[in-house]
Amino acid sequence: MNKINMDQTTIENQINEIAKTTNKTSEEIKKMVNANTEKYAGLLTEEAAIDLVKKELGILKEQNERLKISELSEGKKGIEIEGKIELIYPIKEFEKNGKKGKLQNFIISDNTGEIRGTLWNDQIEENKIKQGNEVVITNLIVTTYNDKNQISLGFGGKVKTIKENETEYKKSTELKAGMSNVNIFGKIIRKFPCTEFENSERKGKVCSFQLGDENAIIKASAWNDKATIIDNFSEGDIIEITNAYTKEGRFGTELHLGYTSEIKKSEKEINTINQTDTTQYLEKKLNQLNERDNVVVEGKIVKISTGKLAYLVCEKCNKKATKTENGVYCDKCGEISGKQNPVLSAIINDETNETQITMFGEQALEFIETNEEEFNKNLENKSTEEILEQISKNKINKTIKLKGYVKENKFLGANEIIVKEILKN
């Protein structure tokens, strides 16, 4: 008899033994075994499923042995460990063999090491874990994946919190390149336009911003789904960030928000340092511009670009709003009273190249040399063409010096400068 048949015979014998002990039929026991296998999306062995049935029927007593993480080895079960939840990964949904499920991975450590754990399906809600808490995990099962031990809960297994710890937040001045699991809170000082990218390895989205606390202002970047989340916050919002990491950037340590990071609005109060623009700008010629550069440039205005002079924004958060039959709607704030935000583009030229510059809000008003009230009156009483013609008469062949950052204008197929400050007008 080959090994497979012997294993099957052993399983049949176990099922028959359970049936005799419990006065249930073998078919009933098989159904219970299959139900446990399906519950774990086919990731449970038949032997483990049989053990779960035994525990459900009260014929397999729990004998949890407390071990250290370094003492865990594949195949051990009915044991428990004590440790601290170091990292929690986002919940992930999956489909296997036509069945949907979800899982949440986490890292737990003690004084001998750390190990990855997984909660499956209902276990996620039944065992709500929090980073930093000290816990005891009972009735766990040890398996291996890529030659590394990992743990999951057996039948009746629990994650019991024995000590709740407050999240420890770093100060901006404590950050150094190469750190992981960084928790920090601060105020969004400035947001930069989000950009999408694609290369031979991947495609995605990144949103960069400046985060300030009472000590410093640092550059931060949120990637992919975290970029979408940060894009819904506004300058001035106070946020809490967990599980971020740091890298060395062009101008010092930068904070990065990746797959495991979490972002939420904070109820904490914070006094930030003087909120001046601490970005380092480099004086450059127009033919030296690279995407994402912060630059100081000077050039002659050769053209005022055509197009809309304003767009509708939310009065509360200053994000783009939509006019509907029922009024003005903001995706973040709901129904609101909108306002017109000025926008104006121009082409400047130096002896090396020409580039489009784009100004929003106060910078556009400063360039036109008007105020918000006068600008809105002109929008009501004059056509866009009339206003642009007057601006051209006043500005063509004038020299402008400005601070700004370089981004790709996909419509133009070239870089443009988003004006941050006009130095000479």
Assess whether pLDDT exceeds 80 at residue 271. no
Q: Can you tell me the mean pLDDT for 193-210?
A: 84
Give the confidence band of 1 by pLDDT, cuts at 50, 70, 90: very low
Instruction: Report in angstroms the alpha-carbon separations of 218 from 123, 179, 248, 406.
Output: 38, 15, 12, 19
Q: Can you tell me the mean pLDDT for 398-425?
A: 90
Q: Can you tell me the mean pLDDT for 63-77?
A: 85
* Count, residues in the chain: 425
- Residue 206, φ and ψ in degrees, nearest 5: -140, 135
Give the confidence band of 393 by pLDDT, cuts at 50, 70, 90: very high
Partners of residue 65 on adjacent β-strands: 79
Assess whether pLDDT exceeds 70 at residue 140. yes
Q: Can you tell me the mean pLDDT for 372-395?
A: 93
CA atoms of 57 and 425, how far apart (whole Å): 83
Assess whether pLDDT exceeds 90 at residue 35. no
pTM of this prediction exceeds 0.85: no
CA atoms of 386 and 393, how far apart (whole Å): 11
CA atoms of 27 and 15, how far apart (whole Å): 9
Give the pLDDT score at 3: 36
Q: Higher pLDDT residue, 276 or 301?
A: 301
Give the pLDDT score at 5: 38
Most confident of 5-9, 60-64, 129-133, 298-302: 298-302
Give the pLDDT score at 322: 84
Q: Can you tell me the mean pLDDT for 93-106?
A: 88
Q: Could you tell me what percent of the chain has a pLDDT over 90?
A: 42
Assess whether pLDDT exceeds 60 at residue 2. no
Q: Can you tell me the mean pLDDT for 8-18?
A: 81
Q: Higher pLDDT residue, 200 or 71?
A: 71
Most confident of 78-87, 294-303, 403-412: 294-303
Assess whether pLDDT exceeds 60 at residue 265. yes
* Residues near 323 by beta carbon (within 8 Å), at least 6 away in sequence: 312, 329, 338
Assess whether pLDDT exceeds 50 at residue 137. yes
The mean pLDDT of the chain is 86
CA atoms of 78 and 252, how far apart (whole Å): 49
Give the pLDDT score at 373: 87
Assess whether pLDDT exceeds 60 at residue 277. no
Tally of CB atoms within 10 A around 195:
16
User: Measuring CA to CA, which residue among 114, 118, 199 is closest to residue 151?
Assistant: 118
Give the confidence band of 75 by pLDDT, cuts at 50, 70, 90: confident
Q: Which of 2-16, 182-196, 224-238, 263-277 has the lowest mean pLDDT?
A: 2-16
CA atoms of 403 and 293, how far apart (whole Å): 11
Give the pLDDT score at 199: 74
* Residues near 85 by beta carbon (within 8 Å), at least 6 away in sequence: 106, 107, 108, 129, 130, 131, 132, 133, 134, 135
Residues 358/417, Cβ–Cβ less than 8 Å? yes
Q: Please give the angle made by the CA atoms of 69, 70 and 76, to the nearest 5 degrees.
A: 70
Q: Higher pLDDT residue, 185 or 96?
A: 185
Give the pLDDT score at 54: 81
- Residue 84, φ and ψ in degrees, nearest 5: -115, 135
Assess whether pLDDT exceeds 70 at residue 239. yes
CA atoms of 155 and 140, how far apart (whole Å): 8
Assess whether pLDDT exceeds 90 at residue 95. no
Q: Can you tell me the mean pLDDT for 89-99?
A: 85
Q: Can you tell me the mean pLDDT for 391-413?
A: 92
Where do we find the tokens 């400068």?
Answer: 417
Most confident of 117-126, 270-279, 334-343: 117-126
Helix axes 372-381, 361-368, angle to 10 degrees: 80
Assess whether pLDDT exceeds 80 at residue 42. no
Q: Which two tokens stand for residue 220?
A: 């931060």
Assess whether pLDDT exceeds 60 at residue 388. yes
Parallel, antiparallel, or unpaired for β 322-324 and 327-330? antiparallel
Q: Which of 29-43, 211-225, 253-267, 364-378 has the lowest mean pLDDT?
A: 29-43
CA atoms of 259 and 313, how far apart (whole Å): 31
HEC sequence for the chain:
CCHHHHHHHHHHHHHHHHHHHHCCCHHHHHHHHHHHHHHCCCCCCHHHHHHHHHHHCCCCCCCCEECCHHHCCCCCEEEEEEEEEEEECCCEEEEECCEEEEEEEEEEEECCEEEEEEEECHHHHHCCCCCCCEEEEEEEEEEEECCEEEEEECCCCCEEEEECCCCCCCCHHHCCCCCCCEEEEEEEEEECCCEEEECCCCEEEEEEEEEECCCCEEEEEEECHHHHHHHCCCCCCEEEEEEEEEEEECCEEEEEECCCCEEEECCCCCCCCCCCCCCCCEECCHHHCCCCCEEEEEEEEEEECCCCCEEEEECCCCCECEEECCEEEECCCEEECEEEEEEEEEEEECCCCEEEEEEEHHHHHHHHCCCHHHHHHHHHHCCHHHHHHHHHHHHCCCEEEEEEEEEEECCCCEEEEEEEEEEEC
pLDDT in tens, 304-351: 999 999 988 877 767 788 887 777 877 767 767 788 899 999 999 999
Give the pLDDT score at 163: 87
